[in-house]
Structure 1
Amino acid sequence: MKKQSDQLGTEPIPKLLRNISVPAMIGMFVMALYNVVDTIFISHGVGLDAVAGVTIAFPVMMIMMAVAAAFGMGGASVISRRLGAQKKDDADKVLGNILFMILLIGAVSFIGAFTIIEPLAQLFGATPEVLSYAVEYLFPILIGSVFFAFGFTANAIIRSEGNSRFAMLTMVIPSILNIILSPIFIFVFNMGVGGAAIATVLSQGIISVIVLWYFLTGRSTLTIKIENLLPQWVIIKEVSVIGFPAFVRQSSGSVMMIAINTMLIRYGGEFYVSVFGIVQRIAMFTLMPMMGILQGMQPIVGYNYGAKQYGRMRETILLSFKVVTVISTFIFVLMIAVPAPFMRVFTSDPATIESGVEAIRIMFAAAFLIGAQVLSGGLYQALGMAKPALVLSMARQILFLIPLVLILPSFLGVYGVWIAFPLADILACALAAIFLWKDRELFFKKKDKDHTMEQEAKA
């Protein structure tokens, strides 16, 4: 088990990508299913206003997850390259410093739950009609944020050492627990949206204990050492710089949600916030397969880049792009052709279904481009190239989507919000293509370590 990361540099790429991506994909699907089921329970058990309240609260969760993503994805990139270079002790130090930062995140969020929760909900767009729902949902989430941060971060790190099956379990177990516990708290104990949040925190707490057991009992390539929990700012800086694009990507999603909720309330009212809350869950579900491929690609690319096995790196990149293109094209066809059944899963209200179908068809009009754009930013992050990773992570949501969301509704009303999505997809994909073309020599002309050593020996 201690040598499980060696497979990243030896196994055939198609088999390796499948073995890492499929468990990641299953885990992401189950997580998306939990989000979908949770929304269904809240919609039917509490009402559409509660869905709007949770939709308002969601950006706060996204910021918490953005910080965790910065240390998880950044740490995974650094760790996979350290392991590829056979620097296991250095990888252990990275893990220890990440755990220190997780504890710090948890402490700050815990304090925030008792001090700024209501102003925070208002800042993120909560109106008087939905404020109570947003606060009720947020309080348990902030209290248990250390579990979210630990689980989210550990998942990326476990994947970075090649243990895809256990990484999958860290997503599947809390999601299944949540699906079981959420209706109990909502319907049996009559705890409303607060019950849904408590179920989520309990589920994350249980998986956090399991993950800690995994690291402490020698089942990981990595080892938790007390001395490594003391912060080393050089390591924290390296992880933060590489992980910053992931933070930008996640937190920009939060800013995007604020912008969208604000414009929808201004030009349509709380009804359209509820519609968007449902459509967003559907969109999240469709994104999971591509995120699974990304999560499979990154440790393979990072490890082989660190090991100077560039041929394997290139093969992984090309195969990953082919697969996500097929997936995103299928999603495009599905969402354009039959969006109504997906809306009916959440609500039986005819007006909500009709508005949701219209929104889905517009928002997914360029969905066939999403896969390539998602993979591009993740590729640069896996290689430790912070600047292009940052730009591509910012591109879709910050550079294009948010400005379009703020501008177009002035001319098109609610339709302007929906139209902003395909326009942002087109522009972000074009920018990613420019970056990849500019760096084509990095991906296609670097020689493997063995080839370079052979040339040097001949010289």
Structure 2
Amino acid sequence: MSKVSAEQLGNEPIGKLLIKQAVPASIGILVMSLNVLVDSIFVGNWIGSIAIAAINVVLPVSFFIGALGMAIGIGGSSIISRALGSNDHKKAVKTFGNQIALTLLVTVAMVFLGLYYTDSLIPAFGGKGAIFEPAKVYYTIVLYGVPFLALCMMGNTVIRAEGKPKFAMNAMIIPSVGNLLMDYVFIYVFDWGMEGAAWATTIGYILCFAYILYFFLSQNSELKLNWSHLGFNGAILKEIGALGFVTLSRQAVVSVIYLLMNNILFNLGGEAMVAVYAIIGRMLMFALFPVFGVTQGFLPIAGFNYGAQKFDRVKESISTAIKYAAILATIVFIGLMIFPTEIAGLFLSSRPDISAEELAMNTFVLEHTPMAMRLVFAATPIIALQLIGAAYFQAIGKAVPALLLTLSRQGFFFIPLILILPTYLGELGVWISFPIADVLATLVTGYFLRKEVRKTLVVPRDLQKDAQ
């Protein structure tokens, strides 16, 4: 796979460049998603369905803290991409130093709070009944590794902003493979149960951190730091915060959705219904990996060329990214519509010695998951426009519209829908909330993206020639 430098982001053909950026990002996201997927399959087969539900309860807490690193990373990487595009290397390095210091400060503080409120947070996120104890075991161990996860998420976005997608891909592959190997050793060989699953996840985070640290300490990175770069700069922190708040808000909304969904579904069908959502949630992370890969590949291209005032290339990157992502989303959609029962069956234990209680739970999950999966992914072919449109505003540093469009699907539309529709339609109301929110958010994003492109991506002909 060819190496991409920051300068190439402004010169290579957009289609070729997007493939170079998106393929490594997609592979990295695929491996991370497969990690979550296979991890859940291992847990379901080797520990039980209740363990999948327990992990689903813990995910929003650990992911939120990890998302702090991603938010700081994406916010700062937007600055870095534009700074490199305008040849301001000093600002790029200072921004990276501030990202590191801020990530450490915020995530360590969050871990302390998370440990202090353990017994309150787990039930609040749906860890009730038989789910509570395994969830607590998993949560306590994984939380210690979450600062490493946050640093990984932050560092990975910076690597991609430098135009080094292959290294960013490796940073996602290494911990995922390590986690799965540790799953086999700790759960299957040592029979450590939930503790084994938690330690496997934590070790994966540490492996990721070790690789990213190697990248920035070696000659591969253009951003060479000294201690002075770690000192906070108010203007840079403000911009990181404004842009990163988009990502953080999105993850905060995801955590709220997990809280609401786990509690609503527990009231509708107990632990088994939470297990259904756990499988759906894994597929939401896994199935759309190529679409998310295109989105991640699009960000530095749009940001760099916007900073370099190459607006024709920015417009081309938008249309090309939407086209590629829409094709991939449609392929995913077809697969999910055809094979939902087979997918659900992968997560359920087929051991002959399972208890009657677990057998009944597995039967319930297998009966309810296929219909739910088809409804949840019903609008998948059109989501490319929503994801690329929201990402564009983030790439060019316009935090407010990026925030509003990012929150439109899950915050402004989905949450009200799941609070209203299940009251009248029960379980069906939960699942149809997903495609309705997708359609509404796509329509809104399409309108504002079209308006923004017409307004800002126009420059005088002579200036356009100079930029090229």
| Match of residue 359 from structure 2 | none
Q: Does 1:408 align with 2:421?
A: yes
CA drift of 1:370 comes to: 1.5
CA drift of 1:190 comes to: 2.0
1:442 and 1:167, CA in 2 relative to 1: closer, same or farther beyond 3 A? Answer: farther
Write the deviation string for residues 140-179 of structure 1: whole angstroms up to 9, x where unpaired.
2211111100111111110011000000000011111111
CA drift of 1:7 comes to: 1.1
Q: How is 1:383-398 mapped onto 2 (pairs within 5 angstroms)? A: 383-398=396-411
1:2 and 1:369, CA in 2 relative to 1: closer, same or farther beyond 3 A? Answer: closer
1:71 and 1:305, CA in 2 relative to 1: closer, same or farther beyond 3 A? Answer: same
| Match of residue 310 from structure 1 | 311
1:134 and 1:231, CA in 2 relative to 1: closer, same or farther beyond 3 A? Answer: same
TM-score normalized with structure 2 length: 0.93
Match of 2:390 among 338, 362, 377: 377
Q: Does 1:203 align with 2:213?
A: no
Percent of paired sites with the same residue: 36
1:223 and 1:3, CA in 2 relative to 1: closer, same or farther beyond 3 A? Answer: farther
Rounded to whole Å, the distance in 2 between the matches of 1:270 and 1:287 is: 26
Structure 1: runs of 5 or more not aligned = 455-459
CA drift of 1:321 comes to: 0.6
Rounded to whole Å, the distance in 2 between the matches of 1:448 and 1:378 is: 27
Write the deviation string for residues 380-408 of structure 1: whole angstroms up to 9, x where unpaired.
10010111100111111110111111111
CA drift of 1:430 comes to: 0.9
Q: How is 1:294-373 mapped onto 2 (pairs within 5 angstroms)? A: 294-347=295-348, 349-373=362-386
Write the deviation string for residues 58-104 of structure 1: whole angstroms up to 9, x where unpaired.
11022113212210111111100000010011100000000001211
Contact 1:309 1:448 (C-alpha < 8 Å) held by counterparts: no
Rounded to whole Å, the distance in 2 between the matches of 1:254 and 1:57 is: 10
| Match of residue 68 from structure 1 | 69
| Match of residue 430 from structure 1 | 443
Rounded to whole Å, the distance in 1 between the matches of 2:459 and 2:54 is: 51
Q: How is 1:419-458 mapped onto 2 (pairs within 5 angstroms)? A: 419-442=432-455, 444-447=457-460, 450-451=463-464, 453=466
Contact 1:186 1:192 (C-alpha < 8 Å) held by counterparts: yes
> Does the residue aligned with 2:288 lie in a helix, a strand or coil?
helix
1:3 and 1:343, CA in 2 relative to 1: closer, same or farther beyond 3 A? Answer: closer
1:2 and 1:372, CA in 2 relative to 1: closer, same or farther beyond 3 A? Answer: closer
Write the deviation string for residues 291-345 of structure 1: whole angstroms up to 9, x where unpaired.
1001110001000100111111111111001111111222222222221221122
| Match of residue 180 from structure 2 | 179
Task: Name which of structure 1's ranges 404-413 and 109-118 shifts more when overlaid on structure 2.
Answer: 109-118
Rounded to whole Å, the distance in 2 between the matches of 1:374 and 1:219 is: 30
| Match of residue 134 from structure 1 | 135
Contact 1:113 1:143 (C-alpha < 8 Å) held by counterparts: no
| Match of residue 119 from structure 2 | 118
CA drift of 1:350 comes to: 3.9
CA drift of 1:448 comes to: 7.3
Which AA in structure 2 matches 1:181? Answer: M
> Does the residue aligned with 1:135 lie in a helix, a strand or coil?
helix
Rounded to whole Å, the distance in 2 between the matches of 1:449 and 1:161 is: 29
Which AA in structure 2 matches 1:398? Answer: G
> Does the residue aligned with 1:269 lie in a helix, a strand or coil?
helix
Write out the 4+ residue segments of structure 1 that deviate beyond 6 Å after TM superposition: none
CA drift of 1:57 comes to: 0.8
Write the deviation string for residues 8-56 of structure 1: whole angstroms up to 9, x where unpaired.
1111211111111000000000101000111011111211111111111
1:220 and 1:337, CA in 2 relative to 1: closer, same or farther beyond 3 A? Answer: same
Which AA in structure 1 matches 2:123? Answer: Q
Superposition RMSD on alpha carbons, in Å?
1.9
1:447 and 1:295, CA in 2 relative to 1: closer, same or farther beyond 3 A? Answer: farther
Which AA in structure 2 matches 1:40? Answer: I
Structure 2: runs of 5 or more not aligned = 351-361
Write the deviation string for residues 407-436 of structure 1: whole angstroms up to 9, x where unpaired.
111111111110110111111111111211
| Match of residue 288 from structure 1 | 289
Contact 2:67 2:150 (C-alpha < 8 Å) held by counterparts: no
Rounded to whole Å, the distance in 2 between the matches of 1:104 and 1:39 is: 31
TM-score normalized with structure 1 length: 0.95
